[in-house]
């Protein structure tokens, strides 16, 4: 399951899809910051296509809340307030907790090995921590077998990822996160759906105050 594509169930070779994926990767990586204006002519030239599919990609990103399109002002990258950051994590905690509960019948030895490998990759490659962390959550929640639920979870991950990358560049969270992922894996091995849902929700919400406090203290594209 490829998180880099965010929506593997919607694979297509259209120009709009190519433009959408290009922009999505740029947003996730932090190349575009909150408030940045997206110029369709520049993006179209960059990926060698016409403006029309780029504009269609803008509309798709707007429906996901990742950009804002205003008449006569164009398309800009959405930013999150501190309250919105908390809200994203609150929604994520509920949805990912549900996804883990639904995934329990598909948790087997092979799934545990895959998750352990992703956990170890987080520790072995700090530079790729955010990517491997996203892969861990995506793989586990994807075992729920609920495509619509996964689309919602992935969109929430994208909205918060640029902030998370900045935070992790300045703060050390990998040790506490590793402990939390071990707790999740223990619950999965035990086959306890209630506990697995609870620890996932706690893990997601545990990041919210840390990230919000960091953003607030450093005045990084968010406000109270």
Please provide the DSSP assignment of 4-69 as one string: GGS-GGG----HHHHHHHHHHHHHHHTSS-TTPEE-HHHHHHHTTS-HHHHHHHHHHHHHTTSEEE
Q: Which residues pair with 44 in a beta bridge?
A: none
62-82 b/e (C-beta count within 10 Å ≥ 16 → b) = eebebbbeeeeeebbbbbbeb
Please give the residue that has the higher pLDDT: either 25 or 139: 139
pLDDT at 46: 94
154 — pLDDT class (breaks 50, 70, 90): very high
The SS3 assignment for 191 reads coil
State the pLDDT confidence band at 7, using cuts at 50, 70 and 90. very low
Mean pLDDT of 203-207: 93
Model-wide pTM > 0.95: no
Is the Cα dihedral 63, 100, 199, 168 positive or negative?
Answer: negative
* CATH class of this structure's domain 82-218: mainly alpha
CA dihedral for 75, 18, 148, 145, sign (positive or negative) = negative
Kindly indicate the confidence band of residue 220, based on its pLDDT and cuts at 50, 70 and 90: low
CA quadruple 90, 60, 1, 125: dihedral sign:
negative
- The H or E element spanning position 222 is none
* Percent of the chain predicted with pLDDT > 70: 88
Query: Nearest 5 degrees, angle CA 192-CA 194-CA 199?
Result: 95
- Determine the pLDDT at residue 126: 77
CATH of segment(s) 3-77? 1.10.10.10
Q: Which of 3-12, 38-47, 132-141, 204-213 shows the lowest per-residue confidence on average (mean pLDDT)?
A: 3-12
Map out the domains of the chain as residue ranges: 3-77, 82-218
| Distance from C-alpha of 133 to C-alpha of 152, rounded to nearest angstrom | 17
Residue-wise pLDDT tens digits, 53-100: 999 999 999 988 889 999 888 999 988 888 999 999 999 999 999 999
Using CA atoms, how far apart are residues 205 and 125, in angstroms rounded to an integer? Answer: 24
**pLDDT single digits (tens) 110-132:** 999 999 999 999 888 877 888 89
Dihedral of alpha carbons 21, 25, 31, 33, sign? positive
Phi, psi of 74 (to 5 degrees): 80, -155
Q: Residue 180 pLDDT > 60, yes or no?
A: yes
**CA 81, CA 94: separation in Å to the nearest integer?**
20
DSSP secondary structure, 124-163, as one string: H-GGGHHHHHHHHHHHHHHTT--HHHHHHHHHHHHHHHHH
């Amino acid at each position: 399951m490829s998180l880099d594509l965010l929506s593997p169930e919607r694979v297509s070779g259209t120009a709009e899809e190519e433009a959408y994926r290009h922009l999505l990767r740029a947003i996730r990586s932090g190349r575009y910051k909150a408030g940045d204006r997206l110029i369709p002519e520049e993006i179209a030239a960059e990926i060698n296509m016409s403006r029309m599919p780029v504009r269609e990609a803008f509309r798709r990103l707007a429906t996901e809340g990742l950009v804002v399109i205003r008449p006569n002002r164009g398309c800009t990258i959405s930013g999150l307030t501190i309250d919105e950051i908390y809200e994203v994590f609150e929604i994520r905690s509920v949805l990912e907790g549900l996804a883990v509960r639904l995934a329990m019948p598909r948790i087997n030895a092979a799934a545990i090995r895959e998750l352990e490998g992703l956990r170890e990759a987080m520790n072995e490659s700090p530079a790729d921590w955010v990517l491997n962390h996203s892969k861990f959550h995506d793989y586990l929640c994807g075992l729920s077998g609920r495509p619509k639920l996964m689309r919602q979870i992935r969109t929430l991950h994208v909205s918060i990822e640029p902030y998370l990358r900045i935070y992790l560049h300045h703060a050390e969270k990998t040790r506490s996160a590793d402990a939390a992922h071990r707790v999740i894996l223990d619950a999965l091995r035990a086959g306890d759906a209630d506990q697995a849902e609870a620890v996932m929700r706690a893990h997601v919400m545990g990041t919210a105050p840390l990230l919000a406090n960091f953003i607030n203290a450093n005045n990084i594209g968010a406000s109270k």
